[in-house]
Amino acid sequence: MAVAAEPAPARSLFARLAQPRPALALLLLMWVPLVAYVMFNRQIGDLREVVLLPAIPAALLLYAVAVWSWRESTIAVIGVTLVFFWLLLALSAPYLPLLDPNKPVAPFVTPFTEKNGVFYWLGTDTRGRDMLSRTIWGCQRVIVWGITATVVAYFVGAMLGLIAGYLGGWWDQVVSFLANVLLSFPVMILFILILNYLGPSGFNIVIAVTFSSAPAIMRIVRGLALDVKTRDYIFAAQTRGESALRIMVIELLPNVRGPLIVDACLRLGYTTVAITTLTFLGLGLQPPDPDWGLMIKEASSTALLWKFSYMLLIPALSVSSLILGFNLMADGLREMSLRD
């Protein structure tokens, strides 16, 4: 792959950044700090004050690159805009002039009203905490846990799919059998069983999502691998004496990425729904830190009054817009892949 490392003569900055390696570097530059901030807040100590700073320009650049490379599909651009809107809010939450999301200030303030010299754009909740601040901070957790869970599920599912599809035989039988067993459970029951057993926490959500999503991912990858493994270039790699692992990851996987990326976007949507639902049921992320599911749960009783329905509507609309973003991205990518 020596030659691939040399950047191709590209026309614009965007074209150059859209190459796999620079794009991946930008992605990591954005993602690692966010994960460190949300998952390992205590461990990183004082670093937490600055850790997200480099991630913000990285995200902006990445957004520009994404819009540039998907400019052919309006749908994909809308989707990516929605997703990056929330992503940027998540990254910049610590640096925005927001009230403390956990501090009760004045209960039951409706949106767009001023109280005690403070203007509340989105009002406050039953306990008097600022809704704007809670919505923005809440998106941080949904995004980080949702994407992490999907990525982990994808890693496990894809590896198992490659093993079942490429190695076949005995491997295939075992993996497919386990997948079928897991798939026979209704997803929610599986979630509730796992989280009841392991206890509610972010990491356990990742495990639960992996158990419920990986079998379906495994099936998709297995089907794609079965097709690709009959190609001559795989045969060529085999006769070159390449290891099975290298063939699976380097020769085979890149050629099935198209349908997988589309499916991953859709699955991000499902996972977001699942995490929000789990938190709503009290099985996911724990209070007091803000989270959209938690906000919906806390607002569920008071929101019966029309006047206070904003407490429910704001997190609900937020989560819907994020899911819509993922789905539109999936649609746009699929549309583009069908074109050529």
- Applying CB under 8 A, the residues found at the interface with another protein are 1-4, 6, 8, 231-233, 235-242, 251, 254-255, 257, 339
Taking the complex as a whole, the smallest distance from the CB of residue 15 to another protein amounts, in Å, to: 14
CB 290 within 8 A of CB 102: yes
Per DSSP bridges, beta strands 113-115 and 118-120 are antiparallel
Distance CA 232, CA 254 (A): 15
For 44, the 3-state DSSP assignment is coil
Q: Which residue number, 2 or 117, has a Cβ lying nearer to another protein? A: 2
Distance CA 7, CA 17 (A): 10
Burial of 288 per CB tally in 10 Å (0-12, 13-18, 19+): exposed
Taking the complex as a whole, the smallest distance from the CB of residue 66 to another protein amounts, in Å, to: 21
Q: What letter represents residue 311's amino acid?
A: M
φ/ψ (deg, to 5) at 105: -110, -60
* CA distances, 17 to each of 5, 29, 75, 219 (Å): 13, 13, 22, 33
Q: Which residue number, 42 or 339, has a Cβ lying nearer to another protein? A: 339
Q: Which residue number, 177 or 235, has a Cβ lying nearer to another protein? A: 235
Taking the complex as a whole, the smallest distance from the CB of residue 177 to another protein amounts, in Å, to: 16
Q: Which residue number, 132 or 162, has a Cβ lying nearer to another protein? A: 162
Taking the complex as a whole, the smallest distance from the CB of residue 268 to another protein amounts, in Å, to: 23
Q: Which residue number, 8 or 114, has a Cβ lying nearer to another protein? A: 8
Taking the complex as a whole, the smallest distance from the CB of residue 336 to another protein amounts, in Å, to: 11
Q: What letter represents residue 75's amino acid?
A: I
CB 316 within 8 A of CB 296: yes
Q: Which residue number, 127 or 231, has a Cβ lying nearer to another protein? A: 231
Taking the complex as a whole, the smallest distance from the CB of residue 340 to another protein amounts, in Å, to: 9
C-alpha atoms less than 13 angstroms from C-alpha of 66 in its C-beta half-sphere: 23
